[in-house]
């Protein structure tokens, strides 16, 4: 089935550093979404993007919907220990979501 | 404010056994879906429903059945469990057809098939 290529697979960064991750696909999506999953819990929506080129912020998080509609990135500024978790991108088209494999973020305090 | 409730949280099955993962939402959402999460694979859609009485297959439907007799409930049945079905299962619901802005996930069900 179709998949999104999400990178990096994992990151181990120093507290206070900025983080960047991205997703690419060979398919066009109408909506790009970024989720965070904490251990033992379900994914929680962080940011939703609806238009090509759209740049949206949510606190220290910034995400962009690529112009080609085939990619998106998520930036986290000034990371803190509670940012640890798995971050998923998802592309939506019609009534289905396709998820990336996730980026595991670990933060050294 | 329960949101999406999944049970059980953890389950161990023997190969060939059957079981049902329960999912209920109290938000009057029309759209419900089941995903499985495996390492390095992200979340993959198993089955989904756009309303009571309507279900359809997702990306990985084999070995699973669903039904949607009410708006609130969307159970996932494993007919004859196989080790390949060891995974974490998430139920999700939303007002509209999964465009993501209002999609809510349950806390997950950890299933091990031995």
Using the Cα atoms of residue A70, residue A33, residue B40 and residue B48 in order, give the sign of their dihedral: negative
Q: What is the mean pLDDT of residues A90-94?
A: 82
Would the pLDDT of B100 be above 80? no
- When mean pLDDT is compared across A1-5, A80-84, A100-104, B27-31, the lowest value belongs to A1-5
Per-chain mean pLDDT for chain B: 91
What pLDDT, on the 0 to 100 scale, is given for residue B95? 78
- When mean pLDDT is compared across A12-21, A47-56, A90-99, the lowest value belongs to A90-99
Among B100, B102, B103, B105, most A C-beta atoms within 10 A, so best to mutate, is B100
**Max Cα–Cα distance, chain A, nearest Å:** 41
Q: Which is higher by pLDDT, B103 or B29?
A: B29
Band (pLDDT 50/70/90 cuts) for residue A95 is: low
Cα Rg of chain B (Å, integer) = 13
What pLDDT, on the 0 to 100 scale, is given for residue B39? 82
Would the pLDDT of B96 be above 80? no
What pLDDT, on the 0 to 100 scale, is given for residue B97? 57
B100·A95 Cβ contact <8 A? no
Question: Euclidean distance between the first and final Cα of chain A, in Å?
Answer: 39
Measure CB to CB from residue B59 to each of A1, A48, A95 and give the nearest one: A1
Half-sphere CA count of B94, side-chain side, radius 13 A? 19
Q: Which residue has the tokens 């305090």?
A: A109
Give pLDDT tens digits for B34-49: 999 998 788 999 999 9
Per-chain mean pLDDT for chain A: 91
Number of C-beta neighbours around residue B28 at 10 A? 9
Give pLDDT tens digits for A28-68: 998 999 999 998 888 998 999 989 999 999 999 999 999 99
Would the pLDDT of B99 be above 70? no
The residues in A 13-52 lying below 8 A from B, measured between CB atoms, are 30-31, 33, 40-45, 48, 50
Would the pLDDT of A27 be above 70? yes
Band (pLDDT 50/70/90 cuts) for residue A2 is: low
Q: For residue A23, give both structure tokens.
A: 């997703």
CA angle centred on B90, ends B86 and B95, rounded to 5°: 160
Rounded CA-CA distance A91/A103 in Å is 15
Query: Would you say A74 and A89 are in contact if contact means Cβ atoms under 8 Å apart?
Result: yes
What pLDDT, on the 0 to 100 scale, is given for residue B40? 76
Q: For residue B83, give the 3-state DSSP assignment.
A: helix
A30·B60 Cβ contact <8 A? no
DSSP track, chain A:
---BEEE-SEEEEETT--EEEEEE-SS--SEEEEEEE-TTS--EEEEEE-STT-EEEETTEEEEE-TTSSEEEEEE-S--GGG-EEEEEEEEETTEEEEB--EEEEEE-
Would the pLDDT of A96 be above 90? no
Among B43, B50, B61, B95, most A C-beta atoms within 10 A, so best to mutate, is B43
What pLDDT, on the 0 to 100 scale, is given for residue A56? 94
Query: Would you say A7 and A22 are in contact if contact means Cβ atoms under 8 Å apart?
Result: yes
Query: Would you say B110 and B10 are in contact if contact means Cβ atoms under 8 Å apart?
Result: yes
- Quote the distance between the C-alpha of residue B104 and its chain's center: 12
């Amino acid at each position: 089935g179709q998949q999104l290529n999400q990178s990096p697979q994992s990151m181990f960064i120093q507290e206070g550093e900025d983080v960047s991750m991205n997703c690419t696909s060979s398919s066009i999506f109408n909506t790009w979404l970024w989720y965070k999953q904490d251990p033992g819990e379900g994914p929680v929506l962080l940011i939703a993007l609806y238009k090509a080129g759209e740049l949206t912020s949510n606190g220290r998080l910034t995400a962009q919907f690529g112009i080609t509609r085939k990619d998106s990135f998520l930036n986290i500024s000034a990371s803190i220990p509670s940012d640890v978790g798995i971050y998923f991108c998802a592309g939506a088209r019609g009534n289905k979501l396709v998820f990336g494999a996730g980026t595991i973020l670990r933060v050294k305090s | 404010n329960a949101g999406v409730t999944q049970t059980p949280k953890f389950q161990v099955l023997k190969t060939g056994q059957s079981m049902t993962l329960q999912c209920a939402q109290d938000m009057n959402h029309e759209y419900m879906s089941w995903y499985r999460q495996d390492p390095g694979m992200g979340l993959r859609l198993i089955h989904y429903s756009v309303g009571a009485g309507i279900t359809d297959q997702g990306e990985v439907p084999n070995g699973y059945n669903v039904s949607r007799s009410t708006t609130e409930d969307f159970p996932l049945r494993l007919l004859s469990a196989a080790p390949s079905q060891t995974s974490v299962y998430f139920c999700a619901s939303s007002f509209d057809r999964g465009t993501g802005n209002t999609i809510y996930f349950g806390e997950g069900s950890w299933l091990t098939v031995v």
